[in-house]
Structure 1
Amino acid sequence: MKPEVLRIEKEINADPIKIFRAWLNAEDFALWFLSGEGIEIESVIMDPRPGGKFIINMELDGKILPHEGEYITIDEPNKLVFTWRSHATDNKDTLVTITFEEIKDIISKSGKVGKQKTLVTLVHEELTSEIQVKMHNHGWTNILEGLDQWINSGK
Protein backbone atom coordinates (compact mmCIF):
# COMPACT_ATOMS: atom_id res chain seq x y z
CA MET A 1 0.00 0.00 0.00
CA LYS A 2 1.25 3.46 -0.92
CA PRO A 3 2.00 5.64 2.14
CA GLU A 4 -0.46 8.48 2.68
CA VAL A 5 0.44 12.12 3.37
CA LEU A 6 -1.64 14.55 5.42
CA ARG A 7 -1.11 18.32 5.12
CA ILE A 8 -2.76 20.92 7.36
CA GLU A 9 -2.20 24.70 7.36
CA LYS A 10 -3.25 27.24 9.98
CA GLU A 11 -2.59 30.96 10.30
CA ILE A 12 -1.89 31.99 13.89
CA ASN A 13 -1.70 35.58 15.13
CA ALA A 14 1.76 35.44 16.72
CA ASP A 15 5.41 35.52 15.77
CA PRO A 16 7.08 32.28 14.60
CA ILE A 17 9.49 32.12 17.57
CA LYS A 18 6.69 32.07 20.15
CA ILE A 19 4.76 29.40 18.25
CA PHE A 20 7.88 27.30 17.60
CA ARG A 21 8.91 27.35 21.27
CA ALA A 22 5.44 26.22 22.37
CA TRP A 23 6.22 22.86 20.72
CA LEU A 24 9.37 22.31 22.81
CA ASN A 25 8.40 23.36 26.34
CA ALA A 26 6.74 20.39 28.08
CA GLU A 27 4.89 22.51 30.65
CA ASP A 28 3.34 24.81 28.02
CA PHE A 29 2.81 21.94 25.56
CA ALA A 30 0.61 20.07 28.04
CA LEU A 31 -1.73 23.08 28.21
CA TRP A 32 -2.62 23.27 24.50
CA PHE A 33 -1.84 19.90 22.87
CA LEU A 34 -5.36 18.45 22.94
CA SER A 35 -6.47 16.32 20.02
CA GLY A 36 -10.17 16.06 20.68
CA GLU A 37 -13.06 16.09 23.14
CA GLY A 38 -12.55 14.00 26.24
CA ILE A 39 -8.81 13.69 25.67
CA GLU A 40 -6.53 15.01 28.40
CA ILE A 41 -2.76 15.15 28.72
CA GLU A 42 -1.62 12.88 31.56
CA SER A 43 2.09 13.70 31.17
CA VAL A 44 4.68 15.04 28.74
CA ILE A 45 8.39 14.26 28.76
CA MET A 46 10.65 16.00 26.22
CA ASP A 47 14.33 16.04 25.36
CA PRO A 48 14.16 18.75 22.66
CA ARG A 49 17.36 18.22 20.67
CA PRO A 50 18.10 16.26 17.48
CA GLY A 51 18.12 12.62 18.55
CA GLY A 52 16.20 13.46 21.74
CA LYS A 53 13.00 11.59 22.47
CA PHE A 54 9.56 12.64 23.65
CA ILE A 55 6.57 10.86 25.10
CA ILE A 56 3.10 12.36 25.34
CA ASN A 57 0.69 10.32 27.45
CA MET A 58 -2.84 11.20 26.42
CA GLU A 59 -5.72 10.00 28.56
CA LEU A 60 -9.13 8.99 27.22
CA ASP A 61 -11.81 7.39 29.41
CA GLY A 62 -9.23 6.49 32.05
CA LYS A 63 -6.93 4.79 29.53
CA ILE A 64 -3.40 6.08 28.86
CA LEU A 65 -2.53 6.36 25.16
CA PRO A 66 1.23 6.89 24.68
CA HIS A 67 2.45 8.93 21.71
CA GLU A 68 6.18 8.97 21.23
CA GLY A 69 8.91 9.90 18.84
CA GLU A 70 12.33 11.33 18.24
CA TYR A 71 13.34 14.82 17.18
CA ILE A 72 15.17 14.83 13.85
CA THR A 73 15.43 18.54 13.03
CA ILE A 74 15.05 21.54 15.35
CA ASP A 75 15.63 24.67 13.27
CA GLU A 76 14.23 27.54 15.34
CA PRO A 77 12.00 29.27 14.30
CA ASN A 78 11.60 27.69 10.86
CA LYS A 79 11.17 23.94 11.01
CA LEU A 80 10.56 21.06 13.39
CA VAL A 81 10.80 17.43 12.22
CA PHE A 82 10.11 14.38 14.39
CA THR A 83 9.00 10.78 14.21
CA TRP A 84 5.51 9.98 15.55
CA ARG A 85 4.33 6.61 16.82
CA SER A 86 1.09 5.71 18.59
CA HIS A 87 -1.81 3.27 18.62
CA ALA A 88 -3.24 5.35 15.73
CA THR A 89 -0.19 4.54 13.54
CA ASP A 90 -0.34 0.84 14.48
CA ASN A 91 2.74 1.57 16.64
CA LYS A 92 4.84 2.21 13.53
CA ASP A 93 7.03 5.28 13.09
CA THR A 94 5.63 8.01 10.86
CA LEU A 95 7.17 11.39 10.08
CA VAL A 96 5.87 14.85 11.02
CA THR A 97 7.32 18.08 9.60
CA ILE A 98 6.09 21.44 10.86
CA THR A 99 7.15 24.71 9.26
CA PHE A 100 6.60 28.20 10.65
CA GLU A 101 6.47 30.93 8.01
CA GLU A 102 6.10 34.56 9.00
CA ILE A 103 3.36 36.29 7.06
CA LYS A 104 4.61 39.74 6.23
CA ASP A 105 2.48 42.65 7.37
CA ILE A 106 0.21 44.19 4.82
CA ILE A 107 -0.15 47.94 5.26
CA SER A 108 -3.55 49.27 4.33
CA LYS A 109 -4.15 52.58 2.55
CA SER A 110 -4.76 54.18 5.93
CA GLY A 111 -1.26 53.12 7.03
CA LYS A 112 -2.44 50.55 9.58
CA VAL A 113 -0.30 47.45 10.00
CA GLY A 114 -2.04 44.17 10.86
CA LYS A 115 -1.01 41.83 13.67
CA GLN A 116 2.00 39.62 13.14
CA LYS A 117 0.95 36.25 11.77
CA THR A 118 2.58 32.90 11.13
CA LEU A 119 1.53 30.22 8.69
CA VAL A 120 1.97 26.87 10.45
CA THR A 121 2.12 23.97 8.00
CA LEU A 122 2.04 20.43 9.36
CA VAL A 123 2.82 17.51 7.05
CA HIS A 124 2.37 13.98 8.42
CA GLU A 125 3.91 11.29 6.20
CA GLU A 126 4.06 7.49 6.15
CA LEU A 127 0.46 6.97 7.24
CA THR A 128 -0.68 3.60 5.92
CA SER A 129 -4.45 3.91 5.50
CA GLU A 130 -7.24 6.35 4.84
CA ILE A 131 -8.52 5.79 8.40
CA GLN A 132 -5.12 6.86 9.78
CA VAL A 133 -5.27 10.00 7.62
CA LYS A 134 -8.80 10.80 8.88
CA MET A 135 -7.91 10.18 12.53
CA HIS A 136 -4.77 12.31 12.33
CA ASN A 137 -6.50 15.04 10.32
CA HIS A 138 -9.03 15.35 13.15
CA GLY A 139 -6.35 15.24 15.86
CA TRP A 140 -3.85 17.64 14.27
CA THR A 141 -6.62 20.11 13.31
CA ASN A 142 -7.79 20.23 16.94
CA ILE A 143 -4.20 20.49 18.19
CA LEU A 144 -3.43 23.48 15.93
CA GLU A 145 -6.68 25.12 17.03
CA GLY A 146 -5.68 24.54 20.66
CA LEU A 147 -2.27 26.08 19.97
CA ASP A 148 -3.90 29.13 18.38
CA GLN A 149 -6.28 29.59 21.33
CA TRP A 150 -3.50 29.13 23.90
CA ILE A 151 -1.07 31.51 22.11
CA ASN A 152 -3.75 34.18 21.75
CA SER A 153 -5.10 33.86 25.30
CA GLY A 154 -2.13 35.88 26.51
CA LYS A 155 -0.14 32.98 27.97
Structure 2
Amino acid sequence: MTVQQSEREFLKSDPGQEPVIVEGLFRANPARVFRAFTEPNEVQSWFVPKSGGLVSVDIDLKVGGKWCFVIEKTQEKQIHFEGEYLAIDAPNRLEFSWRHVQEFADGTREATDTSQVAITFTEAGKATEVKLRHEAIKSEDARRGVGGGWNGCFRRLDEIVST
Protein backbone atom coordinates (compact mmCIF):
# COMPACT_ATOMS: atom_id res chain seq x y z
CA MET A 1 0.00 0.00 0.00
CA THR A 2 1.42 3.40 -0.96
CA VAL A 3 1.04 6.52 1.11
CA GLN A 4 -0.73 9.39 -0.62
CA GLN A 5 1.10 12.75 -0.55
CA SER A 6 -1.69 14.25 1.57
CA GLU A 7 -1.13 11.52 4.19
CA ARG A 8 2.65 11.89 4.47
CA GLU A 9 3.96 12.43 7.97
CA PHE A 10 6.70 15.07 8.21
CA LEU A 11 6.68 15.64 12.00
CA LYS A 12 9.65 13.72 13.40
CA SER A 13 9.58 14.81 17.05
CA ASP A 14 6.99 13.39 19.42
CA PRO A 15 3.91 15.66 19.60
CA GLY A 16 4.41 18.31 22.28
CA GLN A 17 8.14 17.70 22.67
CA GLU A 18 10.83 20.42 22.55
CA PRO A 19 12.14 21.12 19.96
CA VAL A 20 9.62 20.56 17.16
CA ILE A 21 11.42 18.71 14.32
CA VAL A 22 9.86 18.49 10.85
CA GLU A 23 11.68 16.86 7.92
CA GLY A 24 10.88 15.95 4.36
CA LEU A 25 12.31 15.02 1.00
CA PHE A 26 10.93 17.19 -1.81
CA ARG A 27 11.22 16.47 -5.53
CA ALA A 28 12.81 19.79 -6.45
CA ASN A 29 16.26 21.35 -6.23
CA PRO A 30 17.32 23.35 -3.15
CA ALA A 31 16.95 26.71 -4.93
CA ARG A 32 13.32 25.91 -5.80
CA VAL A 33 12.43 24.80 -2.27
CA PHE A 34 14.28 27.78 -0.72
CA ARG A 35 12.22 30.13 -2.94
CA ALA A 36 9.06 28.50 -1.59
CA PHE A 37 10.06 29.74 1.87
CA THR A 38 11.22 33.21 0.86
CA GLU A 39 9.04 34.62 -1.94
CA PRO A 40 5.63 36.00 -0.88
CA ASN A 41 3.61 34.49 -3.74
CA GLU A 42 5.22 31.09 -3.06
CA VAL A 43 4.58 31.24 0.71
CA GLN A 44 0.98 32.26 -0.01
CA SER A 45 0.43 28.98 -1.88
CA TRP A 46 1.43 26.53 0.87
CA PHE A 47 1.87 28.08 4.30
CA VAL A 48 -1.62 27.53 5.75
CA PRO A 49 -2.38 23.79 5.91
CA LYS A 50 -6.16 24.20 5.85
CA SER A 51 -8.19 25.19 2.82
CA GLY A 52 -7.93 28.84 1.99
CA GLY A 53 -4.77 30.82 2.36
CA LEU A 54 -3.06 33.74 3.96
CA VAL A 55 -4.54 37.24 3.83
CA SER A 56 -1.12 38.74 3.10
CA VAL A 57 2.59 37.91 3.14
CA ASP A 58 5.33 40.50 3.71
CA ILE A 59 8.98 39.44 3.48
CA ASP A 60 12.08 41.63 3.78
CA LEU A 61 14.64 38.92 3.03
CA LYS A 62 17.81 40.15 4.69
CA VAL A 63 19.41 39.54 8.06
CA GLY A 64 17.44 41.76 10.44
CA GLY A 65 14.61 42.03 7.89
CA LYS A 66 11.08 41.46 9.12
CA TRP A 67 8.45 39.02 7.90
CA CYS A 68 4.70 38.88 8.58
CA PHE A 69 2.12 36.31 7.45
CA VAL A 70 -1.46 37.47 8.13
CA ILE A 71 -3.86 34.58 8.76
CA GLU A 72 -7.04 36.53 9.53
CA LYS A 73 -8.02 40.17 9.35
CA THR A 74 -11.37 41.61 10.45
CA GLN A 75 -12.48 44.98 11.78
CA GLU A 76 -12.06 43.62 15.31
CA LYS A 77 -8.65 41.97 15.07
CA GLN A 78 -5.76 40.71 12.98
CA ILE A 79 -4.05 37.37 13.63
CA HIS A 80 -0.60 36.80 12.20
CA PHE A 81 2.82 35.24 12.55
CA GLU A 82 5.82 37.56 12.55
CA GLY A 83 9.53 37.62 13.14
CA GLU A 84 12.86 38.67 11.73
CA TYR A 85 15.52 36.91 9.73
CA LEU A 86 18.53 35.86 11.79
CA ALA A 87 20.59 34.02 9.14
CA ILE A 88 20.25 33.59 5.38
CA ASP A 89 22.51 31.37 3.29
CA ALA A 90 20.55 30.83 0.05
CA PRO A 91 19.70 28.13 -0.90
CA ASN A 92 21.17 26.17 2.03
CA ARG A 93 19.93 27.65 5.31
CA LEU A 94 17.34 30.01 6.73
CA GLU A 95 16.85 31.07 10.35
CA PHE A 96 14.24 33.40 11.79
CA SER A 97 12.45 34.36 14.97
CA TRP A 98 8.74 33.55 15.34
CA ARG A 99 5.77 34.99 17.26
CA HIS A 100 2.03 34.35 17.01
CA VAL A 101 0.25 37.71 17.39
CA GLN A 102 -3.28 39.02 17.80
CA GLU A 103 -3.75 42.76 17.33
CA PHE A 104 -7.09 44.25 18.31
CA ALA A 105 -8.94 47.28 16.95
CA ASP A 106 -8.35 49.16 20.22
CA GLY A 107 -4.59 48.92 19.68
CA THR A 108 -3.89 46.17 22.20
CA ARG A 109 -1.63 43.33 21.18
CA GLU A 110 -1.18 39.80 22.47
CA ALA A 111 1.92 37.90 21.36
CA THR A 112 3.53 34.62 22.27
CA ASP A 113 7.10 34.59 23.53
CA THR A 114 9.61 34.59 20.69
CA SER A 115 10.72 31.19 19.43
CA GLN A 116 13.24 30.33 16.71
CA VAL A 117 13.11 28.39 13.46
CA ALA A 118 16.18 26.99 11.68
CA ILE A 119 15.80 25.28 8.29
CA THR A 120 18.41 23.52 6.16
CA PHE A 121 17.98 22.62 2.49
CA THR A 122 20.33 19.83 1.36
CA GLU A 123 20.58 18.46 -2.17
CA ALA A 124 19.78 14.75 -2.30
CA GLY A 125 20.11 13.64 -5.92
CA LYS A 126 17.22 15.22 -7.82
CA ALA A 127 15.49 16.14 -4.56
CA THR A 128 16.01 18.35 -1.53
CA GLU A 129 16.05 17.21 2.08
CA VAL A 130 14.48 19.89 4.28
CA LYS A 131 15.09 19.81 8.03
CA LEU A 132 13.20 22.31 10.16
CA ARG A 133 13.84 22.82 13.88
CA HIS A 134 11.43 25.08 15.77
CA GLU A 135 12.56 25.63 19.36
CA ALA A 136 11.95 27.68 22.50
CA ILE A 137 8.17 27.21 22.35
CA LYS A 138 7.09 27.57 25.97
CA SER A 139 4.11 25.21 26.37
CA GLU A 140 3.43 21.62 25.38
CA ASP A 141 0.06 22.63 23.85
CA ALA A 142 1.75 25.30 21.74
CA ARG A 143 4.38 22.76 20.59
CA ARG A 144 1.59 20.35 19.61
CA GLY A 145 -0.11 23.10 17.61
CA VAL A 146 3.11 24.21 15.95
CA GLY A 147 4.09 20.63 15.11
CA GLY A 148 0.70 19.89 13.56
CA GLY A 149 0.78 23.19 11.70
CA TRP A 150 4.23 22.59 10.21
CA ASN A 151 3.26 19.01 9.30
CA GLY A 152 0.21 20.26 7.37
CA CYS A 153 2.24 23.02 5.74
CA PHE A 154 4.88 20.53 4.58
CA ARG A 155 2.11 18.43 2.99
CA ARG A 156 0.99 21.44 0.95
CA LEU A 157 4.61 22.42 0.22
CA ASP A 158 5.20 18.91 -1.15
CA GLU A 159 2.27 19.34 -3.56
CA ILE A 160 3.50 22.79 -4.69
CA VAL A 161 7.22 22.14 -5.29
CA SER A 162 6.77 18.66 -6.72
CA THR A 163 4.57 19.77 -9.62
Q: Shorter-chain TM-score: which interval?
A: 0.7 to 0.9
In percent, how many aligned pairs have the same letter? 32
Determine whether 1:41 maps to 2:62: no
Output the amino acid matched with 1:99: T
Equivalent in 141, 144, 154 of residue 151 of structure 2:
141
Q: Following the alignment from structure 2 to structure 1, what is the Cα–Cα distance between the partners of residues 145 and 80?
A: 16
Q: Following the alignment from structure 2 to structure 1, what is the Cα–Cα distance between the partners of residues 89 and 140?
A: 30
Equivalent in 92, 112, 131 of residue 113 of structure 2:
92
Task: Name the counterpart of 2:20.
Answer: 6
Task: Name the counterpart of 1:111.
Answer: none
Task: Name the counterpart of 2:137.
Answer: 127
Q: Following the alignment from structure 1 to structure 2, what is the Cα–Cα distance between the partners of residues 90 and 132?
A: 13
Do 2:113 and 2:138's aligned partners in 1 also have CA atoms closer than 8 Å?
no
| Cα RMSD, aligned residues only | 2.3
- 1:64 is displaced (CA, Å) by 3.5
- 1:38 is displaced (CA, Å) by 4.8
Q: Following the alignment from structure 1 to structure 2, what is the Cα–Cα distance between the partners of residues 128 and 65?
A: 19
Q: SS at 1:48's partner residue?
A: coil
Output the amino acid matched with 2:162: N
User: How many pairs are equivalent?
Assistant: 139
Task: Name the counterpart of 2:123.
Answer: 102
Task: Name the counterpart of 1:26.
Answer: 40
Unpaired segments ≥5 residues, structure 2: 1-16, 103-109
Do 2:95 and 2:118's aligned partners in 1 also have CA atoms closer than 8 Å?
yes
Do 1:11 and 1:120's aligned partners in 2 also have CA atoms closer than 8 Å?
yes
Task: Name the counterpart of 2:7.
Answer: none
Question: Which stretch of the first structure deviates more once superposed, 128-137 or 81-90?
Answer: 81-90
Please report the TM-score for the alignment, with normalisation by the length of structure 2: 0.77
- 1:151 is displaced (CA, Å) by 1.0
Q: Following the alignment from structure 1 to structure 2, what is the Cα–Cα distance between the partners of residues 74 and 43?
A: 22
Task: Name the counterpart of 2:67.
Answer: 54
Please report the TM-score for the alignment, with normalisation by the length of structure 1: 0.81
Q: SS at 1:41's partner residue?
A: coil
Unpaired segments ≥5 residues, structure 1: 105-115
Deviation per residue, 1:62-102 (Å, 9 max, x gap): 96421000001110111000000004995211000011111
Output the amino acid matched with 2:41: E
